[in-house]
Amino acid sequence: MKVYKTNEIKNISLLGSKGSGKTTLAESMLFECGVINRRGSVEAGNTVSDYYPVEKEYGYSVLSTVFYAEYNNKKLNFFDCPGMDDFVGNAVTALNVTDAGVILVNGQYGVEVGTQNIFRTASSIKKPIIFAINKLDTDTADYDNVLNQLKDTFGPKVVPVQFPVACGAGFNSVVDILLMKQLTWGPDGGKPTIYDIAPEHKDRADEMYQALVEMAAENDETLMDKFFEEGVLSDQEMLEGVRKGLIDSSLYPVFCVSALKDMGVRRLMEALGDIVPFVTEMPAPVDTAGNEIKVDANGPVSLFFFKTSVEPHIGEVSYFKVMSGTLKAGADLTNMNRSSKERLAQINAVCGQIKTPVDTLEAGDIGAAVKLKDVRTGNTLNDKDVDYIFDFIKFPAPKYRRAIKALNESDTEKLSAVLTRLHEEDPTWLVEQSKELKQTIVSGQGEFHLRTLKWRIENQDKIQVEYQEPKIPYRETITKAARADYRHKKQSGGSGQFGEVHLIIEPYKEGMPEPDTYRFGNQEFKMNVKDKQELPLEWGGKVVIYNCIVGGAIDARFIPAIVKGIMDRMEQGPLTGSYARDVRVCIYDGKMHPVDSNEISFRLAARNAFSEAFRNANPKVLEPIYDVEVLMPAESMGDVMSDLQGRRAMIMGMNEANGLQKIDAKVPLKEMSSYSTALSSLTGGRASFTMNFASYELVPTDVQEKLLKEYEESKKDED
């Protein structure tokens, strides 16, 4: 393979809903470029892209596949991304390291929820977007309807650059507005025959050409002036205007293809080579220090590792983008994230599971290395004296969570290592060893996402696992002030144990005045603050502890033990065993014994005094509330609304968003356990949602009573 210069490299993501034909398009592209001499099919399980065992099992993409196509003296690096929303993390990664996204739209179904989701993802990170209407050879394909849907959904920036002469079984010809020619294919597709546009299509082509020229000229003052003066642009000027329009997201060109019949594929690649921005035309990447790093082949060598996978017959493969410089095989680099040295003895150009050794990769190119010593997803490797670190990929929050455990306890440690490795392969699989819940929690983008995780663990790593309902991380707090005291006294031969603690607790709020005087019944308690500890809690909220002891009732050396006793109960609240938060404590009195008092005595006394006061302070249980946004077709609105209300949701707003209905709600985490499955069932898979933590709020009284009863029963079982 020749060494491609930075200005000869284009990086492109293939995106779209499940079933839109991305993998089939990838296969036709590779065939057209001569990388393969026979096209495989998804049904036969022999495509270049879907080569992982789990993909062969399911029959569609689960992980993104990197492949390149050498076409017209350019190197086009493609990422074939999964279409299911559950695997959106792969698309997020791809979009962050490519320069444009081609969104395939199914010519039968038009704009689907998945189309809108991926468009929104690409737009949020300001990537150029190109549409390609695929499957125009199917019986129910309707180009005009799909084009209107695209315009209605994504606005006037959608501009066709091709239209088909006919759809359905007769699809074999398109009018190309960029060329102002008609392209026609034989039954086997491939290279088209190019004709002048037939008279019956000329008026429509002229109208589309005029609209395209106007939009292309809008992106460059020189082109605009020429257009006003002459009314036309040259082919090269047109391509330049479209490319600039893509860079500033002012137009979204629309192409026509039949990936299955290899019609329009060659022309699409040619056009992508012309209109997709070069890596040097896109905004320069920014490192963690906020510095723009120029994509320059003459700069210092810097690599960003965006993907790790364990691949059949190869082992661990680490994928990288050359952010700067010219990488040579055998380079010695420094891992900036792990402070280790790494030698890249061999570097490869990537075409699915085919890895072709190369000597050199220039800035902007994509490559892979096999079995590196100490490289993880997200790491930056640099030449000496270079301090760049990249961390620009931000993944969506998880939507579905389950507790996981190995059926055989002896596999527990092995399972932990496997989960860590699988998180490297797909960072949207999150793994948490929860000390609070005493469970291993795995989170992902949906039920199928986690089902895939389970399949891989059981079939590839041979560990049998089960999912369980995850516990909810409740919190406990108090709503009024209360007082308690407790004496711990124990005598069992020799020195005994003695400690007595008197304390007052009350709800803590930011900015509240320092404690002064409290009244309980007919007694008044005056606080004399000697010391204050304000402790932020790792689980949220605070505990503030005041030492108000006067007259030496308790020696200062026992105060740390009293604080530990209080923290014991903050970590295991008296109501449900959940973390407590937002409590202010005044230790105002107590007693000690000159011989029998020790730290453990005061720790136990404080623990019990705090528990008693907490129970008397009108305690409440708090539950995590999430902001939930649901997108759905209008006809599903009523069903989705009813379902949310049944989940104790508080509806915050409803409106329309790009042709879909949107509901914003606040929903308890407890009620979101299987929401992705329920939503898919309610809407036939045509809806999607996002959820992000919002706050902790009081649970309803009936829910609290149920939680307290369940906790008491569990304590009896333990006893």
Strands 252-256 and 158-160, bridge-based pairing: parallel
Distance CA 450, CA 456 (A): 10
What is the distance between the alpha carbons of residues 207 and 192, in angstroms, rounded to a whole number? 24
Could you read off the pLDDT of 51-77 as tens digits, one per residue?
778 887 887 788 899 999 999 999 999
pLDDT band for position 493 (cuts 50, 70, 90): low
Lowest-pLDDT range of 9-23, 212-226, 391-405: 212-226
Q: What percent of the chain has pLDDT over 70?
A: 99
Supply the pLDDT for residue 688.
84
Q: Are 464 and 406 in contact (CB under 8 A)?
A: yes
Examine the pLDDT at 572 and tell me if it is beyond 80.
Answer: yes
Residue 112: pLDDT band (50, 70, 90) is confident
- Strands 583-591 and 542-547 turn out to be parallel
- Is the predicted pLDDT of residue 275 greater than 60, yes or no? yes
CATH number corresponding to 400-471: 3.30.70.870
pLDDT score, position 658: 67
476-618 maps to which CATH number? 3.30.230.10
Nearest to 277 by CA among 78, 94, 10: 10
The highest-level CATH class for domain 623-702 is: alpha beta
Does the pLDDT at position 254 exceed 60?
Answer: yes
Same-fold call for 400-471 versus 623-702 = yes
Q: In the chain, pLDDT over 90 holds for what percent of residues?
A: 77
Q: Where are the domains of the chain?
A: 6-275, 302-382, 400-471, 476-618, 623-702
Cα(95)–Cα(72) distance, rounded to whole angstroms?
24
pLDDT of residue 719: 54
Q: What CATH class is the domain 6-275?
A: alpha beta
* C-alpha distance from residue 140 to each of 167, 168, 174 (Å): 8, 7, 18
pLDDT tens across 153-193, in order? 999 999 999 999 999 999 999 999 999 999 999 999 999 99
Alpha helix segments (H runs only) across 521-615: 559-571, 599-615
363-375 pLDDT, tens per residue? 999 999 999 999 9
Q: How many residues does the chain have?
A: 719
Model confidence pLDDT, tens digit, residues 574-628: 899 999 999 999 999 999 999 899 999 999 999 999 999 999 999 999 999 999 9
CA distance 57 to 110: 28
CATH superfamily of the 302-382 domain: Translation factors (2.40.30.10)
Strand order in the sheet with 302-311: 340-344, 331-335, 380-382, 302-311, 315-324, 366-370, 347-351, 354-358
Helix/strand number for the chain, H first, E second = 16, 38
**Residues in contact with 328: Cβ distance below 8 Å, sequence separation at least 6, in sequence order:** 359, 360
For the entire predicted model, the pTM comes to 0.85
Instruction: Give the position of tokens 């150029």.
Output: 128
CA distance between the termini of the chain = 71
How far is 609 from 601, CA to CA, in rounded Å?
A: 12
For position 49, what pLDDT does the model report?
A: 82
Phi, psi of 381 (to 5 degrees): -115, 130
